[in-house]
Amino acid sequence: MAVSLDLLKTFLAVHRAGSVTGAAEVLGLSQPTVTTHLKSLERLLGRPLFVRQARGVRPTSAGDELARRIGESIDSLQGLMDDELDAPAVATVHLGGPADFLCTKVVPALAPRLSKGLQVRTTFGMPDDLLDLLLDRSLDLVVSSTRPRRAGLNVTPCYDELFALVAAPQWSVGKPATTPEPLRGIPLVAYAESAPIIRRYWRSVFNTRLTRTADLVLPDLRGILTAVRAGAGATVLPTYLCGDSLASGELILLADPELPPLNTLYLATRADSGPRSAAVLVRDRLLRVL
């Protein structure tokens, strides 16, 4: 029994897209062609691979098993073919991630490559939105603040953010706080109304829930840094962003835990990105530098 590579590629695209329509768009094929490929593969294998639903398709257990067995091999082969046939003379990488980290850490790491043919286009956003764009090929590389757990991606840890509770010197509480009590009179500056970064710090360091609301909400960590340096109150920031201000004395630590909270950032590329593709080369440089 001979199964062509085209049939397997079509099957894998449908499995990942969850629909014939989505796979047809990714592959640049008509929907009838995709359907014909699926029927041919099912006939050759002698078992159904999908259950057709009102909206999209659901893989059978045989479909899931086939995707697991062939996915990595098909992706590697496709990546090698892309490298050999489609490598651009000037590489453009569409990169997504959190605005503060891209501006503060990623762009400086890539700056030396801009004079050597690399072009970069950036998109700021939240992890789920950026990963959607990565999978539909609008982005080539994503820095994610949560570990991506989607099919069709290669994911590598790249950076551990350490977090610090900081404020301008006027808000000093005398000695590092071990409970939230000394901080009650200090306004809080947060990234979002729910203050997720501060809440996590309270749980991790003080072993208690944050019961206050933020006094200032500013959805940009760089803006929060500016506000806190100006005396707006206290906040929790990654040390890569506030380290210089701490060293200069513009900011002080309000707590000094033995094990400060950390969050791991990840680099995600599509699994079919070849080993010499621009996205993978940029990823590897960031891993070296960061």
pLDDT of residue 89: 41
Q: Quote the CA–CA distance of 96 and 84 in Å, as a whole number.
A: 26
- Residue-wise pLDDT tens digits, 197-211: 999 999 999 999 999
Q: For strands 118-124 and 91-97, give the pairing.
A: parallel
Check pLDDT > 50 for residue 87.
Answer: no
- Residue-wise pLDDT tens digits, 109-159: 999 988 888 899 999 999 999 999 999 889 999 999 999 998 889 999 999
Q: Is the dihedral of CA 175, 195, 144, 105 positive or negative?
A: negative
pLDDT of residue 81: 56
Q: Quote the CA–CA distance of 225 and 148 in Å, as a whole number.
A: 28
pLDDT of residue 86: 44
- The SS3 call for residue 273 is coil
* Contact (Cβ atoms closer than 8 angstroms) between residue 272 and residue 82: yes
Q: How many residues does the chain have?
A: 290
